[in-house]
Amino acid sequence: MSGNFTPSQQTNSVEREIVLDPRRTIISKTDPKGIIEYANDYFIEISGYEEFELMGQPHSIIRHPDMPKVIFKLLWSKLKKGENIHALIKNRTKNGNYYWVITNFDIRYDDNGEIIAYYAQRKAAPDFAVYQIEKLYKTLRSIERAQGVGVAEKYLNGFLEERGLDYNEYVYNLLTIKKSEVKDYFDMSDTSRKAKKKKKSLFARLFKK
């Protein structure tokens, strides 16, 4: 595995937010260790990397330094147990810009029930949800810098317990949607999306469709 490309190697003096097309999906496939094996055209376009630069690299190549490490610890803990996670994630492009996404995962198994791959889907995250989650993430990053990931994890657990929610449920609340609506959104084909466009559901309005 090469270590030639990391987000910190290409930076701008001023970051610029990349506005994602809410109709398009960023897709990637990784092995169980998070090494990229496939990236769709939109992933490549938004990331700013060439396809050959992404293949064989850890998915953390697009990790933004503003993201708390504890969120990825939670993400990988769930994935390794075969559980999906709808996380709000700030990613970084090759030239140092950034974009926010909501994640969805399809976990693939071999005949023996062992995980062999993760297919990740990412859609544009709405501004009002980002505004709320940034407050929590800023606090977690500050705790991590001062006290470490372990202490930040305890804070996150306490934060969620106070609200009687797990992380996924907290994200659903920020989005003002139900779990089933997230799944439906990611599963929706282009054809069915057009058919449902006139209904102007809550989730459609959320994604400005």
Residue written as tokens 């969620």? 160
Beta bridge partners of 88: 102
Distance CA 162, CA 50 (A): 44
| Helical residues (DSSP H) of 38-189, grouped into ranges | 41-47, 51-54, 69-80, 127-147, 149-163, 167-175, 179-187
The encoded tokens of residue 173 equal 């609340």
How do residues 93-136 score in pLDDT, each as one tens digit? 999 999 999 999 999 999 999 999 999 999 999 999 999 999 99
Mean per-residue pLDDT, 52-64: 97
How do residues 8-55 score in pLDDT, each as one tens digit? 444 455 889 999 999 899 999 999 999 999 999 999 999 999 999 999
Mean per-residue pLDDT, 130-153: 97
Tell me the CATH number of domain 7-201, given options 3.40.50.150, 3.20.20.450, 1.10.3720.10, 3.30.450.20: 3.30.450.20
